[in-house]
Amino acid sequence: MNFFGINALESLINNLSHLPGIGKKTAQRLAIFILKSDAQFAEELADTIIKLKHETQLCQRCFNISEGPLCHICKDEHRDASKICLVEDIVDILAIESSHEFNGRYHVLGGVISPLSGVMPEDLHIRELVDRVTNENLKEILMAINPSTEGEATMIYISKLLKNNNVLITQLASGVPIGSNLEFIDPATIGRAILTRRKL
């Protein structure tokens, strides 16, 4: 519905309302804020969004967001290359990093197995994970998948797939509530769940 009769405003509201956590009301507030701010702010905002799309790619190794073929975490020589933290999504890396309790590298799955939503193992970066286990001489995979029913099933699927490899598979300790998203859990709780992680 076109409340204001201004197509440019309506289309901005419509686009903003597709962002996660942004409902129609918030989208309207943001759009009107942008409308009222000076032209320089609006141009910079638009520029940074375009730059983000043009100047980033996915890390070839871990599928984190990256400016080059490898992300800053994969390039960091102070990181323990024998440990991988397996996450669903890029935002989960931010959650784990903010706890400062994990010093290995990551692997972004790109979701969880969910046959009902049409997500099968081959749609995720599982094959690449298996390749990394073979090629990178990994000692531990810490599964930090969000503890939903599908997340649990995905962890079990992957641990079965890797059971003949000589790699320790752990998961975050309880303390991360069932059905919750890592992204919304405070860093101290995540930190504790990492330190007290258990064998899967």
Considering only residues 16, 74, 138, 172, which one is a binding residue for Zn ion as defined by CB under 5 A?
Answer: 74
Considering only residues 71, 109, 162, 190, which one is a binding residue for Zn ion as defined by CB under 5 A?
Answer: 71
Site size with Zn ion, rule: CB under 5 A: 6
- Rounded to whole angstroms, how far apart are CA atoms 155 and 184? 20
Does residue 59 belong to the site contacting Zn ion (CB under 5 A)?
A: yes
Residues with Cβ within 8 Å of 113's Cβ and at least 6 positions away in sequence, in order, are 119, 120, 121, 124, 150, 153, 154, 157
**Residue 28 amino acid letter:** Q
Helix axis angle for 39-54 and 24-36, nearest 10°, is 120
What's the closest the beta carbon of residue 118 comes to Zn ion, in angstroms?
A: 27
Does residue 61 belong to the site contacting Zn ion (CB under 5 A)?
A: yes
Q: Which is nearer to Zn ion, 76 or 186 (CB)?
A: 76
Q: Which is nearer to Zn ion, 17 or 110 (CB)?
A: 110
Report DSSP letters for 154-200, one per residue: HHHHHHHHTTTSS-EEEEPPTTS-TT--GGGS-HHHHHHHHHT-EE-
Judged by CB under 5 A, the stretch of 69-77, 122-130, 131-139, 187-195 that binds Zn ion is: 69-77
Q: Which is nearer to Zn ion, 28 or 64 (CB)?
A: 64
Q: Which is nearer to Zn ion, 69 or 175 (CB)?
A: 69
What's the closest the beta carbon of residue 84 comes to Zn ion, in angstroms?
A: 10
What are the C-alpha distances in Å from 200 to residues 30, 77, 192?
Answer: 44, 28, 17
Q: Which residues bind Zn ion (CB under 5 A)?
A: 59, 61-62, 64, 71, 74
